[in-house]
Amino acid sequence: MANNSGTRIGFIGLGIMGRPMVRNLIAAGFPVTVWNRSRHGIDACVGEGATEAASPCALAEHSDIIITIVGDSPDVEEVALGPNGIIEGAHAGLVHVDMTTQSPEVTRRIAASLAEAGIEMLDAPVSGGEQGAVNATLSIMAGGKEDVFERCRPAFEAMGKTLVYCGPSGSGQVVKLCNQVAVSVTNLAVCEAITLCQRSGVDPRRMLEAVGAGAGASWQLANLGPKMLEGDFRAGFKAEHQLKDLGHALDTAYAGGAALPATTIAHELFARLKDDGLGGEGTQALFKVIQAMSKAQP
């Protein structure tokens, strides 16, 4: 294992993704300092060997690389640029790696503000969900300066398996939104396929087996399809988070003149799911919306 003890990592956002990512960084030999808005995440990470900081500013003062994975664009702006934020702890060589899925436009704006203070920024959102975070097999897609990406590579290697430099600032976020488009539209297709199969009087489990061995195979078919049939709607990735990401995708599409008709439909259906009070369930709960829209069995 490489000697990573000379690179100090600060980590903000100790939720379902952040905690196992911190654990993997510590296992790789990085000294890690953490900050979070709630105590539970801090206590869990300190128990794993991390050190607690009093604020994002204090974290920045004692870190070489700060990683954030928080809720959405306003949360990133607050910890990066707000009172006692990362920018107030600026020092030579500091890098802010934001792994939140957020607006590419806001990412570029934050990066410009940090650059004025001498802080480099990478947008490096991830795909792979909680299991990928636990197993250190995340796909990491990064935007920013390529030499900064290479400088952070050892930290990325501690958390992920597929590391892709995507281009200038905001590029990582754009690629992540493309991921969310592909994931959500495929999820919707699986919901429709199962519903069609059920309403046509055919065993959907046989359908999953047959389609999963052919050109219709997908991660969503193999992993979410069985959960839909079993009525398992526990969240690996929450529907309300998918709704947020699709909103960013549609905003980005509008700004660039891209037509996303299928994504627009998926966004509307996820919004309906949230309106029904089911935003905290897994994205496979989209199946409930399609079922509710379908005609009752004769």
Q: How far apart are CA 209 and CA 121, in angstroms?
A: 45
Give yes or no for a contact between 210 and 193, defined as CB atoms under 8 angstroms apart.
no
Which residue is associated with the tokens 């957020």? 102
Sequence-distant contacts of 12-15: CB under 8 A, at least 24 apart: 12/36, 12/56, 12/59, 12/66, 12/67, 12/68, 12/69, 12/70, 12/79, 13/41, 13/67, 13/68, 13/69, 13/70, 13/100, 14/38, 14/40, 14/41, 14/42, 14/44, 14/45, 15/41, 15/69
**Which residues are catalytic, by number?**
176
Give yes or no for a contact between 180 and 196, defined as CB atoms under 8 angstroms apart.
no
- Going by C-alpha positions, the residue among 118, 112, 107 that lies closest to residue 143 is 107
Q: How far apart are CA 186 and CA 237, in angstroms?
A: 15
- Going by C-alpha positions, the residue among 240, 214, 213, 224 that lies closest to residue 189 is 224
Query: Containing H/E element for 85?
Result: none
Q: How far apart are CA 267 and CA 254, in angstroms?
A: 14
Q: How far apart are CA 247 and CA 216, in angstroms?
A: 27
Buried/exposed code over 268-298 (b: 16+ C-beta within 10 A; e: otherwise): ebbbbbbeeebbebbbbbbbbbbeeeeeeee
